Chain A
Amino acid sequence: MEIVMAFVCGFLFMAAIYLILSKSLLRIIIGTGLLSHGAHLLILTMGSFKGSAPPVLSDGVTDYVDPLPQALILTAIVISFGVTAFFLVLAYRAYQEIKTDDMTLMKGSEDNE
C-alpha cells in the first residue's frame, strides 16, 4: 500500500505544482490546497501504515500505529486552513482593488514599482 501511496502523493504534488505555476490566482490557491493534501498524505506514508489500532489507549491492544506523523499532520491541517483562508482573502481583495486575477498583469509596470 505504501508503494502505491507514494505514487499517489507524487501525483498530487504534480497536479498542485501545475496549478501553482498558472496565471490565475484562483488556480494558484486551489493548487496550494492540493499541495497540502499531498503533503499530509506524504507524511503519513513516510511513517508507514504498520499497526492495526488507532493510537488511542485501550485494553489489550499494543499494536498502535505511529502517532507522531498524525500529530504533525493535525497541526498542518489547521495551519493550511488558515493559510488558504488568508490567500483567499488576499486574492479577493487584490481583485477588488485592481480588477484582475492575472499574475502577469498584477506585476505592475516599470514606473510604478
Chain B
Amino acid sequence: MFQVFCIFIPILAALFMPFFFKKVRSIHTGWFVLIVPVFLVTFYATYVPIIVDGDSVISELDWIPSLGISFVSYLDGLSLLFSILISGIGALVVLYSIFYLNRTKEQLHNFYIYLLMFMSAMLGVVQSDNTITLYLFWELTSISSFLLIGYWYNRDKSRFGALKSMMITVAGGMLMLGGFVLLSIMGDTFSIRELISQAPELATNDLFLVALVLILLGAFTKSAQFPFYIWLPDAMEAPTPVSAYLHSATMVKAGIYLVARFTPIFAQSEVWIWLVAGIGLLTLFWGSFFAVKQTDLKGILAFSTVSQLGLIMSLLGVGAISYHVNGAEDTVFKYAAFAAIFHLINHATFKGSLFMIAGIVDHETGTRDIRKLGGLMGLMPISFTIALIGSFSMAGLPPFNGFLSKEMFFKAILSITQFDLFNFSTWSILFPIIAWIASVFTFIYSFYFVFRTFTGKLKVDQLPKKPHEAPMGMLISPLILAALVITIFFIPNLVADTFVKPAVMAIQPYLYSSPEEVNIHITAWHGIHSPELWMTVGVIILGLLMFLCLSKWQKMYNAFPAKLTLNHLYDFIIYDLCDQWIGRFSALYMTGSIRRYLSFMLSSMAIIVIGTLFIKDGFKISFEEASTIHVYQIILIIVLVIGTITTVFAKSRITSIVALGAVGYTVSLFFVVFNAPDLALTQLVIETISVALFLLAFYHLPKLKKEEERTRFRFSRAFVSVAVGAMVTLVALSAHSQKFIPSIAEYYKETVYSLAGGGNIVNVILVDYRGFDTLFEITVLGIAGMAIYGMIKLRLSRKEKNYENK
C-alpha cells in the first residue's frame, strides 16, 4: 500500500510548494522540493536486493473496481531501474535548478509544482500494471511537459514549442489508448502481466497488428522517433534543468519503456521487429546527421538525444529477434536487449551532465549560440572537464561508459546479419552500415559540441555577459554524473548485475527465468580480431578527419530545401490548413451576431426533431390515458396565457417583471393541482425572491425601448419561436401518448421506507437515490453565487486600485 502511495508523494508535496514559496521567501523553494526525490531514491534503493534475485513486488490500490481499473505499483527489474533513474536524476536536477533559477526573479512555485507533477506521472507510467492508469499517467507527463516547456510563457518560442510537443505527444497518446483498448478487448483484462501471460493467443487475433501499430505510434511520438522527433528540438525552450530531466533522461524514455514492456507480447510479430529496429535505426542516423547542422548548444543535444533514443529503440527491435531463435540465450542475439538497457543507463548519465553544462554555459555567458562561443576552456576549467568526459563517452571512446555500450551495440547490430527469417537476409547488411555511419556523425557532433565551445578563440565582445566559472553548487550535479560515467566504465559488471540483468529478464521473460541466467559479461577488450573493435577504430579515424575539415562541408546542410522539412509540414497543417483555410470557411457563417446563431440553432433543432418525428412515424396522439380537466384548471391556464402575453408585449419593465411573477405563481398553483407539494412550496418562495431580485437589479437598467426592427426580422423571429413551440407540443404529445418503458418510480415507492428510511419520496430521491445530482446542483449554485459576488465586489476593488494609481 505504501509502495503505491509513493507514486503520489511528489504530486502531494506539490500542494505545499506555493506555501513555501510565499511564506519562506528567504530559502530557495528547491531545497524543500529536494527532499522528495532524495527520499524516493532511498526508498526505491531498498528494493534493489529483492529485485536482484529476480523477484517482483506488487502493491495495489483500487480505483474503479467495477471496471477493473486500479492503481498498481508493480516493481520488477525494468520498472525499478526506471524508478531509480527518475528519482535519482530528479534529485540531481532539482539540486541543479536551485542554482540555475533565481530565487527572487522566477515563479518558482509554478516550476516546482509542474516538476513534481511530472515526477509522479513518470513514476506512475513505469510502475503501472494497469493499461488505463498507465495511459492516464502518460498523458499527465505530456501535460506537465507542456507546462514546463511553456514555463517562460511570455516568450513566443516557448509557447510554440510547448504547443508543438503537446500536439504531437498527446495525439500519440490517444492512439496508444486505442491500442490498449484493443488489447483489453482481445485479452479481457487491463493488466499488462495477464496480457503477457496470454501472449501466444493474442497473436492469432485479427486486431493484434492494429493494436501493435497504435501502441508503437504512442511510443514513437513520446520518444521522438522519426518522423515525430520534430517536437523535441523546439522543446529546448524549456529551462535547462527541465531539458536535462524530461527531454533527455526520463520522459522521452517513456516510449523506450513502453516498447520494452510490451516486447514479450509483440516480439512474436515480424512487423514489430521491422518497425522498431528500422525506425530506430533511421532515427539514429537522421538525428546524428542533423545534429552537426545545429548552432544552438541545446539544439545539438536535442538532435543527439533523438539519435541516441533511436539507437536504444533499434536495439530493442533487434532484441525481439531472440524470440524467434531457439536457444537464443547462448547466441549473439542475447546482446541486443542487454545493450539497450545498458546504454539507457549510460545515456542518462552522460547526456544529463552535458545538458547541465550547456545550461551552465548559457547561464555564465548569456548565449548558447556556438558561433559566438569558443575558448572558454581557460575560464571554465571544471565545466570543460565535465563536458569532455560527457562528450567522449557519447562519442564512444574509452575509458568512459559510452564506449562499452557502443561496442555492444555494434555487436548486437552485427548479429542481425546472421538472422535469416522474415526476409532479413536480403536487407540485414544495411543495418550495420547505417549504424556505423551514424556513429561517425555521433563522433563528429560530440567533438563539435565540446571543442567549438571550449577551445578556439575567445570572443568576449560577442558574449552578452563576461564569462566565468559557474558557482560550485551548480557544478555538483554534473560532477556526480561525470563521476558515474567513469565509474561505470571500471565496474560495468556490478551495474549489470544490479540493474541491467533484472531489467533484461523483464523484457525477455521467454528467455530467462532469473537474472543469473543472463550470461553476459561486459569487457572493454574483445581481442584484436573482434569486428566491433575495428568498427570503433574506423569511427574514430573517419570522425577525426571529418571533424577537422568540418567547416568545408558543414555548408552542404544549407542545400536542403526548407520547404521539404517535417517542421514545414507541421506548420502547414497547424497554421495554414487549420487557421487559414478552415478559418476562412468558418468565417462564412460565423458573422458575430449571437441572435443569428441562436436562430440557426433553434430552427435546425426544430426541423430535425419534427422531421424525425414524422419520418420515423414517432408522432402519436391518444386521449385514452389523459386525465380529466377541471374548471379551475381551465382558469389557471387562462391566467397563465394572459400573463405570458403580457410579459411578451409589455411596454414598461415593471409590467414585464410583474407579469413574469404572475406566470411563476400560476405555475406553482399548477404544481399544487398536480399533486406536487414540494414543487409548489419551492416555486412559491423562489418566485418571491426572484421578483425582488429583478426589481432590485432593474432599478438601474434603462426603460424598455419599443423595438424598432425591420418587419422581416420580426417575422423570422416569430417563425422560429412558433416552430420551437410546435416542436415542444408535438414531443410532449407523443411522449404522453406512447410509453414503452414503465416508470422506475415503482422502485422508489417500494423501497423508500425500507432502504432509505424516509417518507417524502421526492426529498429522498434528492438527498439519497440521486444525491449526486443534488451535490452537483448545489455546486453549480455555489459557483453562480461566487460569480455574482466576483462580478460586483472585485470590480469595486479594481476601481479603488485605479484610484490609488492616479
Name the residue of chain A whose CB is nearest to the CB of B625.
Answer: A48
Give bound CA distance, A42 to B625, whole Å: 17
B522 to chain A, nearest CB (A): 65
Are the CB atoms of A41 and B781 closer together than 8 Å? no
Are the CB atoms of B694 and A95 closer together than 8 Å? no
Are the CB atoms of A1 and B765 closer together than 8 Å? no
Proximity string of chain A (43-55) to chain B, C-beta cutoff 8 Å, 1 when within and 0 when not? 0111111111111
A8 to chain B, nearest CB (A): 6
B307 to chain A, nearest CB (A): 46
Are the CB atoms of A83 and B784 closer together than 8 Å? yes
Contact partner of B748 (CB less than 8 A), chosen from A2, A20, A68, A101, is A68
Are the CB atoms of B693 and A88 closer together than 8 Å? yes
Are the CB atoms of A82 and B721 closer together than 8 Å? no
Contact partner of B732 (CB less than 8 A), chosen from A6, A71, A74, A91, is A6
Stretch at the interface among B190-198, B295-303, B633-641: B633-641
Are the CB atoms of A26 and B736 closer together than 8 Å? no
Residue from A4, A38, A75, A93 whose CB has the most chain B CB atoms within 10 Å: A75
Are the CB atoms of A77 and B686 closer together than 8 Å? yes
Known A6-B736, A86-B784, A107-B593; judge A67-B633 contact (CB<8 A): no
Name the residue of chain A whose CB is nearest to the CB of B765.
Answer: A71
Residue from A37, A55, A90 whose CB has the most chain B CB atoms within 10 Å: A55
Give bound CA distance, A72 to B795, whole Å: 36
In the assembled complex, which residues on chain B have CB atoms less than 8 Å from the CB atom of A86? 784, 787-788
Segment 729-764 of B: residues with Cβ below 8 Å from A:
729, 731-733, 735-736, 739, 743-745, 748-749, 752-753, 759-762
Are the CB atoms of B745 and A18 closer together than 8 Å? no
Contact partner of B785 (CB less than 8 A), chosen from A46, A57, A82, A84, is A82
A52 to chain B, nearest CB (A): 7
Are the CB atoms of B623 and A3 closer together than 8 Å? yes
Name the residue of chain A whose CB is nearest to the CB of B659.
Answer: A30
* Majority secondary structure of chain B interface residues (helix, strand, loop or mixed): helix
A91 to chain B, nearest CB (A): 7
Segment 62-113 of A: residues with Cβ below 8 Å from B:
64-68, 70-71, 73-75, 77-79, 81-86, 88-93, 95-96, 101-104, 107
Are the CB atoms of A67 and B761 closer together than 8 Å? yes
In the assembled complex, which residues on chain A have CB atoms less than 8 Å from the CB atom of B683? 77
Are the CB atoms of A93 and B791 closer together than 8 Å? yes
In the assembled complex, which residues on chain A have CB atoms less than 8 Å from the CB atom of B686? 77-78, 81
Segment 756-789 of B: residues with Cβ below 8 Å from A:
759-762, 765-766, 770, 773-774, 777, 780-781, 784-785, 787-788
In the assembled complex, which residues on chain A have CB atoms less than 8 Å from the CB atom of B671? 44
Give bound CA distance, A65 to B768, whole Å: 19
In the assembled complex, which residues on chain B have CB atoms less than 8 Å from the CB atom of A26? 653, 656, 698, 701, 704
Give bound CA distance, A79 to B686, whole Å: 11
Are the CB atoms of B697 and A88 closer together than 8 Å? yes
A6 to chain B, nearest CB (A): 4
In the assembled complex, which residues on chain B have CB atoms less than 8 Å from the CB atom of A50? 625, 627
A36 to chain B, nearest CB (A): 9
Are the CB atoms of B653 and A81 closer together than 8 Å? no
Contact partner of A5 (CB less than 8 A), chosen from B704, B705, B717, B732, is B732
Number of A-B contacts (CB under 8 A): 253
Known A24-B707, A71-B766; judge A42-B676 contact (CB<8 A): no
Asked if B728 CB lies within 8 Å of chain A CBs, one says: yes
Segment 663-680 of B: residues with Cβ below 8 Å from A:
663-664, 667, 670-671, 674-679
In the assembled complex, which residues on chain A have CB atoms less than 8 Å from the CB atom of B677? 54, 56
Are the CB atoms of A95 and B700 closer together than 8 Å? yes
In the assembled complex, which residues on chain B have CB atoms less than 8 Å from the CB atom of A41? 667, 670
Name the residue of chain A whose CB is nearest to the CB of B725.
Answer: A14
In the assembled complex, which residues on chain A have CB atoms less than 8 Å from the CB atom of B759? 56-58
Are the CB atoms of B709 and A23 closer together than 8 Å? yes
In the assembled complex, which residues on chain A have CB atoms less than 8 Å from the CB atom of B629? 1, 4
Proximity string of chain A (1-25) to chain B, C-beta cutoff 8 Å, 1 when within and 0 when not? 1111111111111111111111110
Contact partner of A67 (CB less than 8 A), chosen from B626, B674, B745, B792, is B745
Name the residue of chain B whose CB is nearest to the CB of A102.
Answer: B705
Known A18-B721, A37-B663, A83-B784; judge A27-B704 contact (CB<8 A): yes
In the assembled complex, which residues on chain B have CB atoms less than 8 Å from the CB atom of A77? 679, 682-683, 686
Are the CB atoms of B788 and A37 closer together than 8 Å? no
Contact partner of B648 (CB less than 8 A), chosen from A1, A18, A70, A73, is A18
In the assembled complex, which residues on chain A have CB atoms less than 8 Å from the CB atom of B773? 75
In the assembled complex, which residues on chain B have CB atoms less than 8 Å from the CB atom of A71? 762, 765-766, 770
Asked if B595 CB lies within 8 Å of chain A CBs, one says: yes
Give bound CA distance, A83 to B663, whole Å: 18
In the assembled complex, which residues on chain A have CB atoms less than 8 Å from the CB atom of B689? 81
Give bound CA distance, A10 to B724, whole Å: 8
Are the CB atoms of A70 and B663 closer together than 8 Å? no
Known A70-B762, A75-B773, A82-B780; judge A34-B663 contact (CB<8 A): yes
Contact partner of B625 (CB less than 8 A), chosen from A2, A57, A65, is A2
In the assembled complex, which residues on chain B have CB atoms less than 8 Å from the CB atom of A9? 728-729, 732
Segment 257-302 of B: residues with Cβ below 8 Å from A:
none
In the assembled complex, which residues on chain A have CB atoms less than 8 Å from the CB atom of B729? 6-7, 9-10
Are the CB atoms of A12 and B678 closer together than 8 Å? no
In the assembled complex, which residues on chain A have CB atoms less than 8 Å from the CB atom of B15? none
In the assembled complex, which residues on chain A have CB atoms less than 8 Å from the CB atom of B648? 15, 18-19
Asked if B621 CB lies within 8 Å of chain A CBs, one says: yes
In the assembled complex, which residues on chain B have CB atoms less than 8 Å from the CB atom of A12? 640, 644
Are the CB atoms of B745 and A68 closer together than 8 Å? yes
Contact partner of A34 (CB less than 8 A), chosen from B660, B679, B735, is B660
In the assembled complex, which residues on chain A have CB atoms less than 8 Å from the CB atom of B733? 3, 6
Give bound CA distance, A58 to B749, whole Å: 11
Asked if B426 CB lies within 8 Å of chain A CBs, one says: no
Contact partner of A75 (CB less than 8 A), chosen from B736, B774, B795, is B774
Asked if B207 CB lies within 8 Å of chain A CBs, one says: no
Give bound CA distance, A67 to B791, whole Å: 38
Contact partner of A52 (CB less than 8 A), chosen from B675, B700, B701, B781, is B675
In the assembled complex, which residues on chain B have CB atoms less than 8 Å from the CB atom of A54? 675-677
Proximity string of chain B (591-630) to chain A, C-beta cutoff 8 Å, 1 when within and 0 when not? 0111100110010000000000000000001010111110
Are the CB atoms of A79 and B780 closer together than 8 Å? yes
A16 to chain B, nearest CB (A): 8
Name the residue of chain B whose CB is nearest to the CB of A53.
Answer: B675
Give bound CA distance, A42 to B760, whole Å: 23
Give bound CA distance, A54 to B739, whole Å: 22
In the assembled complex, which residues on chain A have CB atoms less than 8 Å from the CB atom of B722? 14
Give bound CA distance, A4 to B682, whole Å: 24
Contact partner of B736 (CB less than 8 A), chosen from A11, A13, A48, A68, is A48
Give bound CA distance, A95 to B749, whole Å: 50
Give bound CA distance, A15 to B773, whole Å: 29
Give bound CA distance, A83 to B686, whole Å: 13
Are the CB atoms of B780 and A73 closer together than 8 Å? no
A67 to chain B, nearest CB (A): 4
Known A1-B627, A33-B660, A51-B675; judge A90-B791 contact (CB<8 A): yes
In the assembled complex, which residues on chain B have CB atoms less than 8 Å from the CB atom of A95? 700-702
Give bound CA distance, A53 to B411, whole Å: 86
In the assembled complex, which residues on chain A have CB atoms less than 8 Å from the CB atom of B774? 75
Name the residue of chain A whose CB is nearest to the CB of B744.
Answer: A68
Are the CB atoms of A30 and B718 closer together than 8 Å? no
Contact partner of B721 (CB less than 8 A), chosen from A15, A89, A92, is A15
Name the residue of chain B whose CB is nearest to the CB of A51.
Answer: B675
Are the CB atoms of B599 and A21 closer together than 8 Å? yes
Between A and B, 6 residue pairs with Cβ closer than 8 Å are A11-B725, A17-B721, A40-B679, A52-B675, A64-B761, A88-B693
Give me 19 other A-B pairs in contact (C-beta within 8 A), A6-B729, A74-B679 excluded: A3-B736, A5-B732, A13-B725, A27-B704, A30-B647, A30-B656, A34-B647, A37-B664, A42-B728, A46-B732, A49-B674, A68-B743, A68-B765, A71-B765, A74-B678, A85-B784, A89-B792, A103-B595, A107-B593
